[in-house]
Structure formats: structure tokens, C-alpha cells
Amino acid sequence: MPSWVSEDTYDVLTLLRGLLGPDGFIHPNLRFAFSGGAGRGLFAARPLRRDEVLLQVPLKKILRKGSLAWSEAPGFKGSRKGLAEDEEIIVYLAALRKYGLYSEWYRYIRSLPQDPPNSTVSWRPEEVAALQGTPAHAPARALRRQLLRLCQRYVSWLTCEELRWASSLYWSRANTIALHPSTSSSVRSFHALLPAVDLLNFDAGSTNYFRMAGSSLVYIAGSDMAAGDEVLDNYGGGKNDTYLLAHYGFLHQDEAESYVSLGPLPLRPDGHRKLKKLYTAMTSSLFSLRWGLALAQCWLLFINHYSRDITGALENEIEQGFGVSRAQYSAVNSIYFVPNLFVPLLAGMLAQRIGALKVVTLIIAASAAGHLVVGIGTSAESFLLFSLGRLLLGVCYETIDMMPLPLLNPLFPDNWAFLVGVFNGFLRLGSVLNFVASPWIYEHYGLTAAFWTSSALGLSGLAAVAAMWRFHRRMRFASAEGSGGVSLVEATQAAEANGTCRQDLDLPPPMPPKTGFSALPVQFWAFTVCGLCMYAAIVPFWFFGSRYLQDHFGCSLFFADSMMLLPEGMIALLSPLVGVLVDRSNWGLRLKLQVLSASLLGFPISYGLLMMANVPPLFSMVLLGSCWAWSNCLFWANSAKVMPENMLSLGSGIIGTSLNLGASIVPVIMSHMTDQGSLCLLIGISAVAVVAASGTACLAKD
């Protein structure tokens, strides 16, 4: 059967910690490694005491009927009416594996073995026939008949092999949970899959046990464990030979009770609180390191946009200082932006091969060289050197803007929208501060001082990249410490060194990861086209908006320029707030796309209000800035959801190139419409905005 996981180097416990979130807990002294004939299992990396909490799973993070996130598998359209509890979870697992590649629950899928366990549903018919005359034959046939019904019912959406994998995984991992409500003597039971708990291998003599702690299930050590001991579970007891053979494919007699009984947590909460405090202290270093990496990236974005816009802030001063014409000045701006039509794509392809941080290092080194050449050219009053330096900076510009996606998105799965807002705020702050600082520096110290200030800021990017490398290395070390010092990769290498085959490890089969253009789904390309239209509907307005305001409303140049700064300022102020709202609201991808479509409709509404002479332009520009803040934040927040996790570098490169392509083509087309006036240009970009909104709305329905 095909593997939906394109890499086998991820760390399972890291995936599950991200899935369980802040309310979940996996003991920092546990590691996931090879467990002999049982495949992989959980081991104590350091001694563990009796009654220590080993795992904590919030009730909202267990898979049970009634709480399954079916919206996370949008491609599955089959009816679930009439499905039994077990059948619905089985179908959900198969659908999530096939259609939920961008779901947060896909982390759980990646933690599961990619080949079906040795349950009787995966046996050959002759092997099942050998059970005739034993008590295991009837339950084995019942499980296989259930699988056959599901295969026949969902043949249009799922193959039988996909359902066989899900059925085998479910029946070998499901728990029967019996809750004892504190206000009632009745016992409420249900079947569920417990992430992290289902990593445990079987031992009928295990004394570990479950308890309730608020709205979470906690798994507690029933005895002391030495370093290297495997954490084992009795699977709730009651698993006699008949049950074990039919569901797990092995034999072991056990006559204990048949379900996990969850009474209240024993009166020893202090140990759990102390352990949570220890865990928090361990993870706080990772928290500070990843935010250090993010702040360094914020600084790179700030100086990137400060240096980009300096030619706009000192347009007349550059022409006078170098003694060049308006056409020569325009040529310098053109050579700055033209490379961004293809360089982001090349950078994304390179980052896909060597890593995003290495590409950022190369780009910042080239940018530093460009800043030096610009400074030297300004001092020597050499327009040729100045132009060469701006060309180097232009080559690097868009790549610096797009690299946060592959570099930081995997580190901020729950705060990505907020981080996008922070990034937008910093880069707009760089633009706004440049328009304030550069004219002031020129007025007091001259053109050379203004450009050397920009160059000094640009050279500080080298220090930021050095800090990013330091944070990156320390994060790898801290992550290894937190997982007991043994990652899944290291466990695999150790097993291979001992002559253990890959199948014994139950890892995905060795296959080259799919990282080419064909591996990107149709939804990604459609989303990219919508982004192209979005930027094409807003960027051209910055070039003719001031002239339109002066002509249509009869206002002064100063007032028109002030109005044009309003959207930029609102992006800087609103983007982080929008990001916080998106993250806290926990919206699904469909709802995010719907809100993005609605915010894009604000563009033509704003432009329409600008066409009315009796509506003050202030209101229109505030609305435009608000919609631009929402749409820009949501676009980049959703971009990571429409491409596979291992394709972030190439995907961001394609998006970066596409956005610049749209922002370049529309102005070229409009340059041939100048005879029609700015009003026709405004109508044109309004139509492009409607296309972007309509396309995004269609994506939300898919």
C-alpha cells in the first residue's frame, strides 16, 4: 500500500507533544526506540518513580465517536449514517490518512506504523481458516466481515487496503474507557484511541494504571523503573487468548477485568505538579530559543524593507546627488524588482535541497555585499556602483521575505498566524521608519550618510544570521535532551548497526521523498493563483493612488501621501492582532478561507467608495488598510496549510515568484491604459480583486 509519509526522520514524541498541546504531557524522561520483536516502544531514559505521571491526554485530544474532526478530511464525502462506534473511527482513520494531509491530526497519523499490524484482518484467508475449531475463529471472521462491509460501502473514496490498515490499527490500539462521574453512580463507557498511550507494548503483569485529572486522562507508573526499562501496559486486562489472537495476532493469557476503570486521581497531586514544573522548565528553553529565532527573522525583515524603500523616500535627492535623469532613476528601481520574478523560485528549489537556513545565510551574505557596494557607490558618487549594489539587494529582497515560511512554520504550529502578523508589522515598520528617518538624515548629514545608515542596518543582518545559527544549534541540543537524548533517527541507526532490518522497526518503507512540482496538490496551485490576483489587486494602487487622490478629490500632495501611508500603518498595527484572533479562535482551513474571501471583497468596496466624490477618502483608506491587514495575514497563515510539510521551501518559492509576477504584469497592462485615466485603472484592479475573492471562496467549498 502507498505510504502517505514522505520521510521517516521525524521524532514521534515531538509530533505527539504538538498534537496534545499545552494541556497534554509526555514525561521528558521517556524515549521512543526499538523494542525487539514488539517493534517500537516507550522506554525510561532515566529512573522513574512509582506514581509518577508518565502521560497525560486531554479528553478533547482522544479519537472517539462524536468528537471526530471530519472537516479535517475535506476530500472524503461518504455518508457516516448508521455506522457503529468502532466503524466510524476506522473510516475516520483511513479518510484522515488519505485526505487530511494538512490537518493537525495528521501528526497522529505520522506517529502510526505505515504497515498494518498483525491483526487477523490483515491475515490471508488460509491463515484465518487455520483457526477453525478454536474460540478465536468467530471473532476473527466478525472483524473481517466488518472490514468487507466498509470496503463495499466506501469503494468510491477509500481502497480496501486503506481501510484494512485503519481497521488493523484501530483494533490493536483501541481502549474501552469507563468513566465514573462524580455526581452519579452510573458508569459511562466508550471506545477511543489515546494518542501517546497507544505506543505502549503489552505485558499482562504491568501495574501501570489510569486516572482522571480534571478533563484529562493520566497514565501513572505503578512501580519504580530503572533507566532502560520499557514502559508496558496490560491493555486494560481481560485480554484472554481469544481476544489477543484476533486483535493483536499473539497469545497471552490474562483474566483481569476487561476495561480501563477511571476513578478520581489518587491524593498525590504534588508529584504531578512538580513533574509538570520540571517539564515546563525543560521546554521553556525551547520556547525562548524558537522566539529568539523568530526575532532575528523579524530584524531581517525590518532592514530588508527599510533598504528597499530608501530610493522612494529620497527620489529627487538621488537624481540631484548623482546627476541622473528620471529615466535612469526608474531603471534602478526596475533592476531592483525584476529579479524577484524568478529568484524566489530558484531559492525555494535550493532550500528544498540544502535547507532554508543555509539559503538565508547565502542570501544575507549577498545582501551584505550589496549594501557595501551601495555605500561605496554613494561615497564615490558612482551611479554605476550604486546601481550594481541595488541589483544585488533586489536579487535578495523577496527571498528574505518568503523564507520565514519554511524556516519557522514547523516551530510555531499553534502561533503561526500571530507570527505572520508580527512579521507584517516589522516589515511595514521598516518601510514607515525609512520614510521618516531617511529624509531627516539627508537634511542634516547628506545623501551619503542616509545610504550608509541603510547599509549599516543591512550589514547587521550578518549578526542576525549568526544568532539564528546559534539558536538553531541550541534548539537541536535541547530537543535531544528533552527526548532522553535519543531520537527516532538515532534509534533507527543503532538498530541497523546491530543488523536489524527496517521492517523490524515498523518504519515506512525506504522511498525517495516526493519533493518535485508534481507533488504539490491542485489546491496549492489554485491558492497560489488567488494570491497572485490578491497582490495584483493592491500593489498597483500604490503607484497611482496618490495621483488619483489629488485628481479626484483636489487635495494636496502632502494630504494624498498621508492617505497612502494609512494602509501601511494599519497593517503594522492590525496584523499581530489579527494573527492572535486567528490562532485563539482555532478556525479550520475552510473558515479561514471564507474569511480571506470576505476580506478580499473589501478591496473593490474600498475602491468603489474612492470613486464617489462625496465620500471622504479617509474612510475608504481605513477600510482598505483593514482588509489588506486581514487578507495578507490570512493568506500567509493559510499558505502552510495547502502544501505538504516537507514542501514548504519549494512551495514558498513558487508563491513568492507568483506574487511578484501578478504585481508586475498588472502595472504593465495598465501602463497601456493611462490614456483612459486613473478611474479606469481603479476599476481594473477592482475586477482583479473580485476574481481573487471568488477563487478563494471556491477553494473554501472544495
The pLDDT, as a whole number, for residue 367 is: 94
How far is it, in rounded angstroms, from Cα 658 to Cα 17?
Answer: 35
Q: Which has the closest alpha carbon to 670: 542, 528, 553, 552?
A: 542
How far is it, in rounded angstroms, from Cα 635 to Cα 613?
Answer: 32
pLDDT (tens digit per residue) in 351-404: 988 888 999 999 999 999 999 999 999 999 899 999 999 999 989 988 999 888
If one compares 86 and 587, the residue with the highest pLDDT of the two is: 86
Place 322 in a pLDDT band, splitting at 50, 70 and 90.
confident
Residue 238 has pLDDT above 70, yes or no: no
- Do residues 174 and 143 touch, judged by C-beta distance below 8 A? no
Q: What percent of the chain has pLDDT over 90?
A: 15
Q: In the chain, how long is the greatest CA-to-CA distance? A: 100
Please count the other Cβ atoms lying within 10 Å of the Cβ belonging to residue 503.
10
Average pLDDT value for the chain:
77
φ/ψ region of 446 (left if φ > 0, alpha if ψ in -120 to 50, else beta) reads: left
pLDDT (tens digit per residue) in 571-598: 878 888 888 888 777 677 788 888 999 9
pLDDT (tens digit per residue) in 242-278: 555 555 555 444 333 323 333 333 434 443 444 344 4
For each of the domains in the chain, give its residue range(s) and CATH number, in order of start: 12-267 (3.90.1410.10), 284-511 (1.20.1250.20), 514-702 (1.20.1250.20)
In this prediction, residues 133-142 reach a mean pLDDT of: 73
How far is it, in rounded angstroms, from Cα 98 to Cα 92?
Answer: 10
Q: From the DSSP assignment, how many helices (H) and strands (E) are in the chain?
A: 25, 11
How far is it, in rounded angstroms, from Cα 410 to Cα 493?
Answer: 24
pLDDT (tens digit per residue) in 413-439: 667 888 888 898 888 888 888 888 888
Residue 335 has pLDDT above 80, yes or no: yes
How far is it, in rounded angstroms, from Cα 400 to Cα 338?
Answer: 15
